[in-house]
């Protein structure tokens, strides 16, 4: 399936690396213009340079996803640079704590919720106000299979990803028929965020996955392109599990 996104404009949070950059690349390759958002200008500048020369144009804006005012500013910048916004990818996330749930402190609980969960609302509202309410569009939220199954050590992160899955369903109900809202729940993908989980035992972990390999960024990016496109025009409120079959077993993996 050759999916084209010519004339579409996307904003991708956490767009300077990993899954966010992979999705941005797929969008640019398909003809969409893309605004990358992340916290550090140097990372954004480097990411944007890797996308130069593709079918779509690329720009970037520094912003912190936990700040509602940054969401408003970035979506307005997107409209100023490209004339509109059609697609929002809520990809940015964090996992500042590993350990038992009963030992996490309030600061780390709040930080994880603000970045992984509350940001979904901030950026959806900003995109809605910046044009989605008028001409419609599509929102994609990046969750995790950890939002579906319990795992040791990352229970609070997983709780926020479970919230992302519910917010995807809830927003799809509230924003229809103008805007479709879907999600992707990745399994263990070889990204910097997940490096601690796979670096020391990639082959061993791969043997525990039915497809016998870890995920790569493009596994998620190709699924994202489909869900954001008009090819998925009757799909909304769904979270697609992309995990090599991990959740068909009794325990999950990290995404």
- What domains, with CATH codes, occur in the chain? 9-245 (3.40.50.720)
- The position carrying tokens 């904003």 is 11
With both helix axes pointing from N to C terminus, report the angle between 18-29 and 217-228 in degrees, rounded to the nearest 10.
50
**Which range among 15-29, 90-104, 184-198, 235-249 shows the weakest confidence by mean pLDDT?**
184-198
**Is residue 123 within 8 Å of residue 130, measured between CB atoms?**
no
pLDDT bracket for residue 255 (50, 70, 90): very low
* 254 pLDDT more than 80: no
End-to-end CA distance of the chain: give it in Å, rounded: 26
- Contact (Cβ atoms closer than 8 angstroms) between residue 13 and residue 127: no
85 CB-near residues (< 8 Å, 6+ apart): 9, 10, 11, 75, 78, 79, 127, 130, 131, 132, 137
> Which residue out of 60, 123, 128, 157 is catalytically annotated?
157
pLDDT tens-digit readout, 122-148: 999 999 999 999 999 999 999 999 999
pLDDT of amino acid 251: 52
| The two three-digit tokens of residue 124, written as one number | 């959806």
CA triple 67-72-73, angle to 5 deg:
95
In which residue are the tokens 């035992």 written?
Answer: 201
Confidence of residue 206 (pLDDT cuts 50, 70, 90): confident
Collapsing DSSP to helix, strand or coil, 23 comes out as helix
Q: How confident is the model over 41-59, as pLDDT tens digits?
A: 999 999 999 999 999 999 9
Tokens 């103008």 identify what position? 178
Burial class (CB in 10 A: 0-12, 13-18, 19+), 204: exposed
Q: pLDDT by residue (tens digit) across 160-205?
A: 999 999 999 999 999 999 999 999 999 999 887 666 665 677 788 8
| Euclidean distance between CA atoms 105 and 135, whole angstroms | 43
In the prediction, which pLDDT does 158 show? 97
pLDDT at residue 192 in the model: 72
Q: What is the mean pLDDT of residues 235-249?
A: 96
Q: Beta-strand (E) ranges in 170-233?
A: 179-186
Residue 178 CB: number of other CB atoms within 10 A? 12
Is 157 labeled as catalytic in the residue annotation?
A: yes
* pLDDT tens figures, 76-126: 999 999 999 999 999 999 999 999 999 999 999 999 999 999 999 999 999
């Amino acid at each position: 399936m050759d999916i084209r996104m010519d004339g579409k404009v996307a904003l991708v949070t956490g767009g300077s690396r990993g899954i966010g950059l992979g999705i941005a690349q797929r969008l640019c390759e398909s003809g969409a213009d893309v605004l990358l958002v992340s916290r550090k200008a140097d990372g954004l500048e480097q990411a944007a340079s890797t996308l130069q020369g593709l079918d779509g144009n690329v720009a970037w804006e520094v912003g912190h996803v936990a700040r509602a005012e940054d969401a408003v500013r970035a979506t307005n910048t997107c409209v100023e640079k490209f004339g509109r916004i059609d697609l929002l990818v809520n990809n940015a996330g964090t996992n500042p704590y590993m350990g038992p749930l009963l030992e996490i402190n309030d600061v780390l609980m709040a930080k994880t919720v603000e970045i992984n969960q509350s940001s979904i609302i901030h950026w959806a509202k900003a995109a809605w106000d910046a044009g989605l309410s008028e001409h419609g569009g599509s929102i994609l939220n990046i969750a995790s299979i950890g939002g579906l199954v319990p795992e040791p050590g990352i229970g609070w992160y997983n709780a926020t990803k479970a919230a992302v899955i519910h917010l995807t369903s809830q927003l799809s109900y509230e924003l229809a028929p103008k805007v479709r809202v879907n999600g992707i729940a990745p399994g263990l993908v070889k990204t910097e965020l997940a490096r601690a989980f796979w670096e020391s035992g990639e082959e061993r972990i791969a043997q525990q996955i039915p497809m016998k390999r870890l995920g790569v960024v493009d596994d998620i990016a190709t699924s994202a392109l489909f869900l954001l496109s008009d090819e998925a025009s009757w799909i909304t409120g769904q979270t697609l599990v992309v995990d090599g079959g991990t959740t068909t077993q009794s325990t999950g993996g990290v995404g």
